[in-house]
Structures are given as structure tokens and as C-alpha cells.
């Protein structure tokens, strides 16, 4: 039924989106004297999306996008001290401890004892490698890949590089856009475990999910039982 069980990292194994949201809220407070919060948040998001092709995903691109937005929104009036505050806030974000989601360590230990696990995460290579090391989970994975984005071609390339049938891949993650739909597109199995909150860029309209055959679980602790069931088919 499958050769490789793969996991996403951010918001699947450890908390991540809440760090971004908390950081953005602190930056919005700095800019509140110039515009209302909703307008600032919308412009930050628009800048982030525009800059993905230049900076990719991750803390660094997020920081640069917020500074760019601040300069644009204030028409250059923002002070060096205020920009310094923003940089310090985002520096704190980069130092945030890695907090595993409940049940992650036990589940990976159980699965890795019997199966080949792979970690497939997108973002900045340096940043993601540092988070993986700090998480203490690296030893559970035989293969670790940090990719710029997650598309059907990304997964096909990984399958070719690591010599496994893409249709015998089980991908587990919290993002319908990155972890679920691309894997279904290449004939693999996908397991969706929603996180408490989702970045707007990763949200998929309901109409795009019609007839999509993926499995949804409420907790990562349910994965081992699911894998045992899948073995029987």
C-alpha cells in the first residue's frame, strides 16, 4: 500500500503559525499610529505574497516584507528607531523555542520503529534545519527534505531522487494546499490533520475539495492506527 510515510513539519509536528501571528500583532501596534490594524494586516499579507518568489517562505522573508510594508504605509516617515523595534521583534521570533504538538514525540517513535519515515518541509534551508535540530525529532526520519515550495512536481522529484513510487507515498500534514492536494495529484495518499489556525495563503476554497479522496484526522495520535488499517488494503 505504501513505501514511505512522510510528515510536514510546521504546524504538523510543532507550533509555528501562532509565532507569526503574535509577531505580526506586535508590529501592527508599532504602525497603529499611521493606519488602522485591519488595513496594515492586509497590506502585510499582500507584500508577503508578492515577495514569496523573491524571498521564499520563512522568518527572513516575513521580516523583510513587514519592513517594506511599514515604509510604504508611512510613505517613508517611519523612523529608524521604529524599524529597529521591528527587527528586534522578529529576531525574538527566530529564537522562539520549538514547542511540539501534543503526541508528536510518542507517535513518531512508534512509527519509526517499524516504518521508513520522511520529513518534507518547505521554507528557508538554514531556518528549517535549525528548527529540526532543536525539535529533537531528526533521528526518527531516514530522509529529510527542505523544499522551496510543495507542488506535484516537487513530490515527483523527491520520489525520483529517493527511488520510491509516488503512488506509494503517504503524506501527513496540516496544509490542504501544500501537503494534501499536490500528493493526491500524483496518485499518493494524503492525511490531513488541521492545525488550530491556518495562514490565509494556505486556505483552499471548499469547491476545490469536491471529490478529493483524502483522510482527515483530528489528532496525530490517530496516525499509527490509521497506518495499520491501510496495511490491510
Helix axes 223-231 and 104-112, enclosed angle (nearest 10): 30
Alpha helices by DSSP H, 121-176: 125-135, 152-162
Determine the Cα–Cα distance for residues 86 and 186; give it in Å rounded to an integer. 41
pLDDT, residue 45, reads 86
Residues 225 and 125 in one domain: yes
pLDDT, residue 134, reads 94
pLDDT, residue 52, reads 83
How do strand 4-7 and strand 117-122 relate by DSSP bridges? Answer: parallel
127 touches 58 (CB < 8 A)? yes
Residues 165 and 221 in one domain: yes
**CATH classification of the domain holding 86:** 1.10.150.240
Q: How many CB atoms lie within 10 A of CB 215?
A: 17
Evaluate the CA torsion angle 146, 98, 173, 49 in order and state its sign.
Answer: negative
Residues 184 and 90 in one domain: no
The 8-class DSSP code of residue 180 comes to I
Determine the Cα–Cα distance for residues 221 and 213; give it in Å rounded to an integer. 21
pLDDT in tens, the chain (233 residues): 788 999 999 999 999 888 888 888 888 888 888 888 888 888 888 898 888 888 888 888 888 988 998 998 888 889 999 999 988 988 888 888 999 999 999 999 999 999 999 999 998 898 899 999 999 999 999 999 999 999 999 999 999 999 999 999 999 999 999 999 999 999 999 999 999 877 677 778 888 888 898 999 999 999 999 999 988 76
Residues 150 and 201 in one domain: yes
Instruction: Give CA 210 to chain center in angstroms.
Output: 23
**CATH classification of the domain holding 182:** 3.40.50.1000
6 touches 171 (CB < 8 A)? yes
pLDDT, residue 95, reads 83
Residues 118 and 79 in one domain: no
pLDDT, residue 48, reads 86
Q: Which domain holds residue 84?
A: 17-94
11 touches 131 (CB < 8 A)? no
pLDDT, residue 203, reads 76
Determine the Cα–Cα distance for residues 6 and 225; give it in Å rounded to an integer. 16
Residue at which a domain ends, from 66, 94, 122: 94
pTM: 0.87
Per-residue pLDDT reduced to its tens digit, 2-40: 889 999 999 999 998 888 888 888 888 888 888 888 888
Residues 22 and 125 in one domain: no
Please tell me the total count of domains within the chain.
Answer: 2
Determine the Cα–Cα distance for residues 74 and 85; give it in Å rounded to an integer. 16
Residues 82 and 126 in one domain: no
pLDDT, residue 37, reads 86
Strand 169-173's sheet: what is its strand order? 143-147, 117-122, 4-7, 169-173, 189-192, 215-216
pLDDT, residue 233, reads 67
Q: Who's near 86: CB < 8 A, 6+ residues apart?
A: 27, 30, 63, 66, 67, 70
pLDDT, residue 222, reads 97
Amino acid at each position: 500500500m505504501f513505501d514511505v510515510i512522510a510528515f510536514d513539519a510546521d504546524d504538523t509536528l510543532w507550533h509555528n503559525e501562532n509565532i507569526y501571528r503574535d509577531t505580526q500583532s506586535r508590529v501592527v501596534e508599532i504602525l497603529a499610529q499611521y493606519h488602522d490594524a485591519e488595513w496594515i494586516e492586509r497590506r502585510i499579507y499582500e507584500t508577503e505574497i508578492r515577495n514569496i518568489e523573491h524571498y521564499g517562505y520563512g522568518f527572513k522573508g516575513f521580516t523583510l516584507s513587514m519592513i517594506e510594508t511599514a515604509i510604504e504605509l508611512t510613505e517613508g516617515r517611519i523612523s529608524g528607531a521604529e524599524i529597529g523595534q521591528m527587527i528586534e521583534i522578529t529576531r525574538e521570533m527566530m529564537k522562539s523555542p520549538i514547542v511540539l504538538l501534543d503526541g508528536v514525540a510518542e507517535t513518531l517513535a512508534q512509527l519509526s520503529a517499524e516504518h521508513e519515515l520522511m520529513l518534507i518541509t518547505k521554507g528557508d534551508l538554514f531556518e528549517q534545519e535549525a528548527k529540526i535540530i532543536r525539535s529533537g525529532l531528526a533521528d526518527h526520519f531516514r530522509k529529510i527534505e527542505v523544499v522551496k515550495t510543495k507542488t506535484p512536481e516537487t513530490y515527483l522529484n523527491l520520489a525520483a531522487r529517493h527511488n520510491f513510487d509516488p503512488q506509494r507515498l503517504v503524506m501527513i500534514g496540516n496544509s490542504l494546499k501544500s501537503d494534501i492536494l499536490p500528493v493526491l495529484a500524483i496518485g499518493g495518499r494524503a492525511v490531513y490533520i488541521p492545525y488550530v489556525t491556518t495562514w490565509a495563503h494556505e486556505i483552499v476554497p471548499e469547491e476545490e475539495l469536491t471529490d478529493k479522496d483524502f483522510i482527515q484526522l483530528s489528532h496525530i495520535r490517530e496516525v499509527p492506527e490509521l497506518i495499520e488499517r491501510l496495511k490491510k488494503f
